[in-house]
Structure 1
């Protein structure tokens, strides 16, 4: 459904709604009691006539809304039907109650005046209730249309957000893949005996990782598993220069999390922090969940070259900020802290109950 496609409306029902029936029933009961008190006529007799007229007007109103000439709108058709039905319904009640005395009934001035008064009251209240009902129906349609517009707007915004996330994800995938392959190339060029085992572990890792790269239902737990596998692979490449820990924040494993977000930070820590450092270093990945505020902090802490070597803006961090904001909304931020005597700590701050 496009943004300009009008929302379909349900077919008009020829029968009155339960609410309309209840309103008419309450009104006819009240009006019958009032006329009974004023005229002294038995209540059941008054209610029989008023109730029949009220039911006839309600049916005329409902049917005219769905069946009316093309040259006449539903509103005018309903009013015309009520005005025409009122005297007919009053006449039917007179015929039913008077039977053989109908001519004498019309010949008596007092009863004739009462009959005319009943017709006038029927038209007056019928038109009044019709106007109120049409006004309520118009407001209900406006609310339904407004709700439909909001739903369509939310759907389009979600589609735009998904497309944006797919575009950003597509930028990250080759970035990650080419960087890991360049590590293998360096080992092969140096003639390292570790090249074969590293390549085998890389193939196994990619077989496990590639299905997750476009996983819309990726969680923090699966992301941490991916990070741990990547660090194990990197440790094979430089066993004497890399140490690491990966710990999951308690209670946050099932949280939806953008795939490869943490992996991007870990890869940057290897490439810009640990690799250039002669003595290598340590990488710690962890997090902390504040249950009260619903805020989650994740970090990647390395003891590599530090801020001076890693402060240049790049595609990875830029895309990471955009993806986190799209996932979790306002209140999301990415902080970089220099660590003494050297190293870098990157923290992701966001609310676990955000947009995702």
Structure 2
């Protein structure tokens, strides 16, 4: 089972420093430079950020802007109606334009530019009032400053929320797409891995030779190979499979290999009736059995025995595949086949399942899978 799946890392990058920030760390740059830290590539945005804001969101924003403007104009002095209307209209148009830009590309640097622009506007307005004190009486001055302050704070908070929300939405879509792509790739690799070309070719070559030689093993080989192919068909089109059906596919595989290897391969399968009804990711058990035959039986000059067991315990179900071969080779615990099996368990059960590879002092290797009590993979 020589294929690799990408590892999922719960890390994020601080856009301000370029350093990696873990889930248990604090990104202090959020204090002085708030906003989404992830910077999406053009390809990521093309894949997950092509849609516009929903009509519900647009209408809600416009209604809130109109309501705030109406309340301000109702309580503001009459001489300032035109001035405040112009300020709020111009500010709203500018903020909505930036909001549209943030929706298509939710980046913190755009928020930073907006905040600097707000500070510039405040500085210019304050300077103008300071240089022309007769421009307005104190009451009107307070109203103008108050309106500008209200618009600045509400716009900054609203745009921050929009950028963070949109960034999380795009990131979530990318994660979903990645999960679907991994599922499709996993299914493709599973189909190729469960009926490996060399396994079929070697089995068919043995069958052809025995038929030509009129060997008595030809008929049992044909029956075993046919039964194996029939037993593995459900693995290709189901998201989950009964452990009992999975064990039957493993049994058929071992029967074929036993005919080929003769006395070098001995096996037994013991599945508790209750454990047989549990749902498991298709191909999980068969993968472990294939690895046991390849690295345990075929690697041993005198062969080995493969023992498959599934039993229910207090914390769930324990599935073991043990071989009496030469033992665990150096680095085998981090092999790509084992990594793939762990990835499939994580996709199905999260952190509730575990897979361990154990090597005995006197040889032999045991693959131990712990499944949760419910053993029903999430779709």
Range class of TM-score, shorter chain: 0.5 to 0.7
1:326 is aligned to 2:368: no
Superposition RMSD on alpha carbons, in Å? 5.4
What's 2:53 paired with? 10
1:50 to 75, 79, 102: 75
1:205 to 224, 228, 240: 228
What's 1:140 paired with? 161
Q: How big is the shift at 1:323?
A: 1.1
Larger mean CA deviation between 12-21 and 143-152 belongs to 12-21
CA contact (8 A) 1:13 1:62 kept: no
**TM-score of the aligned structures, taking structure 2 as reference length:** 0.53
CA contact (8 A) 2:266 2:305 kept: yes
Larger RCO, structures 1/2 (Cα 8 Å, 6+ apart): 2
What's 1:217 paired with? 239
What's 2:23 paired with? none
CA contact (8 A) 1:286 1:299 kept: yes
- Listed one character per residue, the Cα deviations across residues 242-270 of structure 1 (whole Å, up to 9, x for unaligned) are 56233157387213254531341464489
State the SS of the aligned residue for 1:10.
Answer: coil
State the SS of the aligned residue for 2:279.
Answer: coil
**TM-score of the aligned structures, taking structure 1 as reference length:** 0.55
1:229 is aligned to 2:246: no
What's 1:88 paired with? none
CA contact (8 A) 1:187 1:194 kept: yes
Distance 1:247 1:136 in 2: 59
State the SS of the aligned residue for 1:217.
Answer: coil
State the SS of the aligned residue for 2:252.
Answer: helix
Change (3 A) 1:200 1:228: closer
Distance 1:209 1:273 in 2: 25
What's 1:256 paired with? 281
Distance 1:144 1:116 in 2: 42
What's 1:285 paired with? 308
- Listed one character per residue, the Cα deviations across residues 90-141 of structure 1 (whole Å, up to 9, x for unaligned) are xxxxxxxxxxxxxxxxxxxxxxxxx977654543332221111111122112
Structure 2 alignment gaps of length 5 or more: 1-41, 102-113, 122-135
1:191 to 191, 198, 214: 214
Distance 1:62 1:335 in 2: 70
What's 2:325 paired with? 307
User: How many residues matched?
Assistant: 284
Distance 1:312 1:266 in 2: 12
Counterpart mapping for 1:1-356 below 5 A:
2-5=43-46, 7-8=49-50, 9-10=52-53, 13=58, 16=61, 49-50=74-75, 61=88, 65-66=92-93, 119-155=140-176, 157-158=178-179, 161-162=182-183, 165=186, 169=190, 170=192, 173-181=196-204, 183-185=206-208, 187-188=210-211, 191-210=214-233, 212=235, 214-215=236-237, 217-219=239-241, 221=243, 222-231=245-254, 242=266, 244-248=268-272, 250=275, 253-259=278-284, 260-265=286-291, 267-268=293-294, 271-272=297-298, 276=302, 283-288=306-311, 292=315, 297-302=318-323, 306-308=324-326, 318-328=335-345, 332-337=355-360, 344-349=364-369, 352=372
Distance 1:153 1:67 in 2: 30
CA contact (8 A) 1:226 1:263 kept: no
Distance 1:247 1:20 in 2: 66
Distance 1:194 1:344 in 2: 29
State the SS of the aligned residue for 2:44.
Answer: coil
Structure 1 alignment gaps of length 5 or more: 29-47, 81-114
